[in-house]
Each structure stands twice: as C-alpha cells, then as structure tokens.
C-alpha cells in the first residue's frame, strides 16, 4: 500500500512540475510560428491540421508533439498544480483562480476542437434550407427514392471513402467497393472505347486526377467505385464527382437509388427561408460595400423575421449564421451564410474574466508588500 | 516509470477516442422535387482581363485560343460543351452577321434580322441588357447557345457549343454566368 502511495506521489510530483508548463509553452509558441508560416504554402486548413489539430507533427522523419498533444500536456500540468498543498492558503488564492481560468480556457479550446463544426448554407430567394454543408468533408449519399412520400438516405462519410473499402448497409441490397477517391479531379471525354465493366458516366467519361489545391473548396473530389452483389445488371464500375450535373441513378431489384457525392450535410432542427437579399456596391465598382439577407426563421411552425447582415450574425440554438457571400442569378439572388457551431464559444470570455479576477486578487495581496518594500528602500 | 508511461498512454487513448464518430448515418426526408445537385456558382473573382465573372462550380477552365478571354469545359449528362468568351471592339459586327456566321457553322441557312430578333431573348446582367440566342441543328446533333453582351465600347460574345440536350441542361447556368459578367475596376 505504501509503495502504491509512493508511486502515486511520484506521478503527481512529476506531472505538476512548472518546468513542464514552461517547455510546453515554448514549444507551443514555436508551433504557432511554424504553423503561421506554413499557411502560405499549405493553405489555412492543412496548416491548421498539421501543426495545431495534430497529436504528432512530423518534421521530415522526426515525430514531434503537435498542438493538440502540447495543449493536453499543459492542461494536465495545470490540473496537477492543485495537488500542491502550499497553494491552499488565502495568500495564494489569486494564483489558484488564475490557474482555474487557464484550465477553463483549455477545456473550451478542447470542446471547440472536438465538437465544433463549420460550413455554409446556400439559399435562393424564396427558397428554404434546413441543412449546412461542410467546407472540408464530403459524403456519399445513397438515396432510396422508391417510396412515394419519402426518400431514405444512407450516408457514408468521407472517412470511409478510401481505396479498397467495402461499403454495405442493411438499407442497401448491393455492395460498393471504393476503387479510388480523388481529392481533386476533372471529368474528360473518353478517347478510347469503354469496357463492358464501365457503367453510368464512365461509359463516356474518365476522371483525371489533379493535384489538390491549397484550399479544399477549390477542389472537385471524385470517386471511382464498383457495385457488386446486386444480383442485377447494375453490377459494374462507376464514377461520380462533386457537382455532377446529372446524378447517377440505379434500379436494383425493384428499388430505385440515386447516388450523389456532395459536401457533408448537417441537418438543423429549424429552417431558414430567404425573403430578400440586398447588396450595395461601392459606387462605380463591383466591390460589395455591404450585403444583407432578410430571412424567416421557421421553427415548429413559428415564423420569425430576422435580418442577417455583415457583422450582425444570427445566433440560434448554438449555431451562428454569418453573412458570408452571395450568388447572382438571372432572375433571383442567392445568399451564402457561413454557419458555425461552437460549443466552446463562451469559454474564452468566462475564462478571461476569471483570470482577470485571479490577477487582480493576487495583485491586491502583493501591493501592500510592494509598497512596504519601496518605502523601506527609500528610507534606507 | 512504467506506471507513468501506462497512465500517459491511457489518457492519450481516451482523448483520441473522444473524436471518433459513427461514419454511417441513415435518415428519411419527405420527398423533394429532385436531389439537390444544382451546380453552385462561385463568388465573382476579378480577372486580369478587365472583366470579372462568377464561374459555376462544375465548369472547368480550359486553354482556348489567344482570341479568347476565357474558355471553359461545361459538363452535362452525356458530354462536355465548349464555352468561349470573346471580346471585340465596337459592336463586333452586326447581330445579323454574327448569328448567321454561327448558323453557317452549324450548316444552317442564313436568316433575316427580323427572324433572328424573334428568336433572341433579352436578359439583364452586370453589363446591362444583353441578348441570348439558341441555334440548333438536330440533324447534326449540334447546338450553340450564344450571348451578345455590349460592354461600353466593346462587345463580349459568349458561345457554348454542345449537343441539344446539353444546351437544355446547362441553359440556366449559362444565363447565370452571362449575368455575372461585369467590368472590373
């Protein structure tokens, strides 16, 4: 028992060392610098993933702690600070509060990193939308359209769209084997005759792989896949790409399916209807000065009229809708709202206030000593 | 030391598992008119040519001739159309001359100005009023969708060459593109 207690004490003493915090902070600063510089070549999202969201960052062949691991180390180190017996005194209360604020800030960052999502909502004037499309991730949607009053969606996330992956589900009476996932591609007309195995779009086209662009939204992902075990003539090799004008449809054993490669969708518990989109340009230019969307927020049959404009987003049910962009059409305009769900949104505000209180408390206790020392110095 | 390492690994394993999620989802939605695969038009980007436009997401920039301001491959269900944007000084010739030149390229007989005007449709876009005409030769399975856009002392000609089905499918996107054309400052 004593031996176990000694082990536990050893671990606590190891984890609460201030030098861990100092080294981790120094490394974090280095990562911030490297990540900021890397954005130029890698693009914002890739640099974020490599330096800040990663557990391990590879420098050539050397694995080093990534931002996520470094911040976890800081969080653990700060948490173990509370095992110091000497801090539980009124004189140290300011420092304790300061550490609590720091921990809260890191917990908020963790929640944001793990659970927040961002995307956009595109709504044409007069239309409604209840889903957000992710900026970065794709999904393969297989829609069973056989029923007369509803469509049944089976969605495979991008994480599953890897070469040689087999996709199957109880809703589907066939299997899909991923032959290739292309991060960026362009369809090109087939110059040689298609094989008997080529079906759908691949009878007339091929998908040429392109080098991925820095920013995900500049890419056009594509997928080459094989349908098998359908027990029908639908078995064969197919291709699909983002924004394909005509969706791939299949009729297998009396069921009709539509396959779409699209940006990952998150459905919201409410809808937004775009009533009017307004845009003001700087005089004599095509540079927007301001734009705004007059919308109806429709929830449980209740309609609420709201104006979303630049720097005045709509916040509802944890989602924030920013006026991001627009699309001009021949007859109507379309608004593009950037949508962010951030569970840790309030943490930085709360933790900053707590840290300020901690610092003020600490300062108020130290000030008399400082004044006394100053007076003694003058007297001497 | 071993205990420290085991605890560290367990903590890391726990944290790593926090980010895992189910990658297959199913749900049902009320019937919609059609799956939403409408090509999205991107935000206008100022080009170095003096004009800006909003390129639909599924159009692919292609290398055209030096005459062309821009070229795109325009995919549709059973082929890829070729779209060109050409800029000419002044009016670039009369409407009648230009339309009949396009008709000749499709092995069609020339038409009078009044016949041509009946087939032209007026639109309003970033460059002001412009006209669109659709020319189809069913025998050749070939068609053009052409727009004539006056732009101050110049005229822009946008021509999409595809088969009749393709023209029908991408017509609304073509109009969006033409409407998005404007002079960059």
- B chain contacts of residue A188, beta-carbon cutoff 8 Å: 73, 80
CB contact under 8 A, B4 and A285: no
So what's the pLDDT on residue B44?
Answer: 46
3-class DSSP assignment, residue A370: helix
- A chain contacts of residue B39, beta-carbon cutoff 8 Å: 243, 245
Is residue B79 domain-resident?
yes
So what's the pLDDT on residue A1?
Answer: 55
* Cβ neighbours around B96 below 10 Å, total: 16
CB proximity B2 to A under 8 Å: no
| Gap between the Cα atoms of B148 and B129, Å rounded | 9
Is residue B139 domain-resident?
yes
Q: Label each residue of A22-72 as H, E or C.
A: HHHHHHHHHHHHHHHHHHHHHCHHHHHHHHHCCCEEEECCEEEECHHHHHH
Print the domain residue range for B96.
45-183
Long-range contacts of A273-280 (CB under 8 A, 24+ apart): A273/A123, A273/A126, A273/A127, A273/A128, A273/A298, A274/A123, A274/A124, A274/A125, A274/A126, A274/A127, A274/A128, A274/A334, A274/A335, A275/A125, A275/A126, A275/A305, A276/A125, A277/A125, A277/A326, A277/A333, A277/A334, A277/A335, A279/A326, A279/A333
So what's the pLDDT on residue A311?
Answer: 86
- Please write the tens of the pLDDT for every residue from A354-368: 999 999 999 998 888
Can you list the positions of beta strands (E) in B38-141? 45-46, 51-53, 60-61, 68-76, 79-89, 121-125, 128-137
* Cβ neighbours around A209 below 10 Å, total: 14
CB proximity B9 to A under 8 Å: no
| Residue among B42, B55, B48 at smallest CA distance from A217 | B42
Contacts (Cβ under 8 Å, ≥6 apart) of B107: B137, B139, B140
| Residue among A225, A251, A252 at smallest CA distance from A237 | A225
Q: Which residue of B has its CA nearest to A156?
A: B24
- Please write the tens of the pLDDT for every residue from B2-48: 665 666 666 656 655 555 457 899 998 887 544 444 445 454 444 44
Under-70 pLDDT residues of chain B: 1-21, 32-49, 63-67, 184-185
* Cβ neighbours around B169 below 10 Å, total: 21
So what's the pLDDT on residue A368?
Answer: 87
| Gap between the Cα atoms of A326 and A345, Å rounded | 26
| Gap between the Cα atoms of A71 and B134, Å rounded | 61
CB contact under 8 A, A151 and B40: no
So what's the pLDDT on residue A72?
Answer: 93
| Residue among A314, A361, A301, A360 at smallest CA distance from A341 | A314
Which residue of A266, A286, A289, A337 to mutate against B (max B Cβ within 10 Å)? Answer: A286
Is residue B83 domain-resident?
yes
Contacts (Cβ under 8 Å, ≥6 apart) of A72: B11, B12, B15
So what's the pLDDT on residue A238?
Answer: 94
pTM summary value = 0.62
3-state DSSP helix/strand/coil % of chain B, to nearest 5: 30, 40, 35
Helix (H) or strand (E) holding A8: helix A2-15
Please give the tally of structural domains in chain B: 1
So what's the pLDDT on residue A274?
Answer: 94
Is residue B32 domain-resident?
no
**Domain CATH number, residue B106:** 3.40.1000.10
CB proximity A188 to B under 8 Å: yes
With vertex at residue B78, the alpha carbon angle to CA B75 and CA B84, rounded to the nearest 5 degrees, is 35
3-class DSSP assignment, residue A247: coil
Q: Which residue of A has its CA nearest to B165?
A: A246
| Gap between the Cα atoms of A122 and A274, Å rounded | 10
So what's the pLDDT on residue B22?
Answer: 72
Of B24, B37, B40, the CB nearest to A247: B37
Backbone angles phi, psi at A227, to 5 degrees: -100, 130
Is residue B20 domain-resident?
no
With vertex at residue A369, the alpha carbon angle to CA A98 and CA A364, rounded to the nearest 5 degrees, is 40
CB contact under 8 A, A243 and B58: yes
Per the listing, tokens 């069609």 go with: B108
How far apart, in Å, do the first and last CA atoms of chain A sit? 56
| Gap between the Cα atoms of A155 and A181, Å rounded | 16
- B chain contacts of residue A171, beta-carbon cutoff 8 Å: 26
Is residue B23 domain-resident?
no
Is residue B25 domain-resident?
no
pLDDT by residue, tens only, chain A of 380 residues: 577 777 888 888 888 899 999 999 999 999 999 999 998 888 788 888 899 989 999 988 889 999 999 999 999 999 999 988 888 888 889 999 999 999 999 999 999 888 888 899 989 888 999 999 998 899 999 999 999 889 999 999 999 999 999 999 999 999 999 999 999 998 887 888 888 899 888 888 889 899 888 777 778 899 999 999 998 888 999 999 988 877 888 888 889 999 999 999 989 999 999 999 988 877 766 677 788 999 999 998 888 999 999 889 999 988 999 998 887 766 678 898 999 988 888 899 999 999 999 999 999 988 888 888 888 888 87
Q: Label each residue of A81-139 as H, E or C.
A: HHHCHHHCCHHHHHHHHHHHHHHHHHHHHHHHHHHCEEEEEEEECCCEEEEEEEEEEEE
- The helix/strand count (H/E) of chain A reads as 6, 18
Q: What is the ipTM of this complex?
A: 0.71
Q: DSSP letter for A218, please.
A: G
| Gap between the Cα atoms of B122 and A235, Å rounded | 47
Measured N-to-C along each axis, helices A18-42 and A67-80 cross at an angle, to the nearest 10 degrees, of 160
Of A156, A247, A267, the CB nearest to B35: A247
- Please write the tens of the pLDDT for every residue from A78-88: 999 998 888 88
Is residue B161 domain-resident?
yes
So what's the pLDDT on residue B143?
Answer: 92
Query: A67 and A88 in contact (C-beta within 8 Å)?
Result: no
Q: DSSP letter for A148, please.
A: S
| Gap between the Cα atoms of B158 and A109, Å rounded | 50
Length, in residues, of chain A = 380
Tokens of B178: 């033409």
Strand partners, A225: A178, A238
Percentage of chain B exceeding pLDDT 90: 11
For CA atoms A19, A20, A26, A27, the dihedral sign is: positive
């Amino acid at each position: 028992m004593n031996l176990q207690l000694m082990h536990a004490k050893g671990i606590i003493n190891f984890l609460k060392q201030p030098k861990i915090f100092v080294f981790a902070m120094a490394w974090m600063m280095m990562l911030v610098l490297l990540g900021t510089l890397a954005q130029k070549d890698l693009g914002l999202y890739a640099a974020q993933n490599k330096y800040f969201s990663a557990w391990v960052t590879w420098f050539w062949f050397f694995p080093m702690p990534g931002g996520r691991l470094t911040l976890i180390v800081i969080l653990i180190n700060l948490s173990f600070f509370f095992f110091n017996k000497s801090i539980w005194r009124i004189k140290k209360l300011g420092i304790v509060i300061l550490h609590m604020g720091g921990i809260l800030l890191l917990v908020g960052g963790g929640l944001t990193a793990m659970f927040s999502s961002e995307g956009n909502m595109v709504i044409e004037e007069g239309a409604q939308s209840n889903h957000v499309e992710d900026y970065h991730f794709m999904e393969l949607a297989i829609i069973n359209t056989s029923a007369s009053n509803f469509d049944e969606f089976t969605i495979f996330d991008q994480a599953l769209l890897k070469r040689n992956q087999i996709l199957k589900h109880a809703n589907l009476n066939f299997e899909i084997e991923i032959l290739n996932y292309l991060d960026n591609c362009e369809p090109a007309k087939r110059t040689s005759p298609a094989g008997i195995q080529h079906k759908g779009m691949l009878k007339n086209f091929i998908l040429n792989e392109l080098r991925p662009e820095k920013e995900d939204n500049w890419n056009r992902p594509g997928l080459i896949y094989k349908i098998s075990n359908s027990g029908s003539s639908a078995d064969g090799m197919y291709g699909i790409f983002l924004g394909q004008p005509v969706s791939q449809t299949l009729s297998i054993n009396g069921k009709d399916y539509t396959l779409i490669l699209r940006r990952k969708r998150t459905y919201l518990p409410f809808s937004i209807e775009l009533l009017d989109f307004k845009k003001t340009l700087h005089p004599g230019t095509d540079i927007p000065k301001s734009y705004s969307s007059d919308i109806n927020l429709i929830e449980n049959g209740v309609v609420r009229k709201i104006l979303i404009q630049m720097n005045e987003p709509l916040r509802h049910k944890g989602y924030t809708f920013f006026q991001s962009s627009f699309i001009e059409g021949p007859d109507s305009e379309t608004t593009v709202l950037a949508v962010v769900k951030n569970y840790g949104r309030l943490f930085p505000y709360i933790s900053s206030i707590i840290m300020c209180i901690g610092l003020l408390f600490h300062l108020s206790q130290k000030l008399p000593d400082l004044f006394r020392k100053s007076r003694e110095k003058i007297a001497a | 030391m071993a205990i420290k390492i085991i605890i560290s690994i367990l903590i890391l394993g726990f944290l790593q598992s926090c980010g895992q999620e189910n990658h297959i989802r199913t749900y049902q939605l009320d019937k919609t008119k059609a799956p939403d695969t409408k090509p999205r038009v991107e935000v206008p980007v100022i080009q170095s040519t003096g004009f800006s436009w909003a390129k639909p997401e599924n159009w692919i920039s292609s290398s055209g001739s030096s005459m062309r301001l821009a070229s795109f491959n325009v995919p549709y269900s059973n082929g890829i159309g070729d779209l060109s944007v050409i800029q000419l000084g002044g009016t670039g010739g009369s409407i009648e001359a230009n339309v009949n030149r396009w008709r000749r390229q499709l092995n069609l007989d020339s038409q009078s100005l009044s016949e041509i005007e009946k087939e032209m449709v007026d639109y309003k876009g970033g460059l002001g009023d412009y006209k669109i005409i659709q020319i189809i030769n069913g025998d050749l399975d070939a068609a053009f969708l052409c727009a004539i856009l006056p732009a101050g002392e110049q005229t822009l000609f946008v021509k999409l060459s595809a088969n009749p089905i393709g023209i029908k499918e991408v017509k609304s996107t073509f109009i969006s593109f033409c409407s998005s054309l404007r002079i960059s400052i």
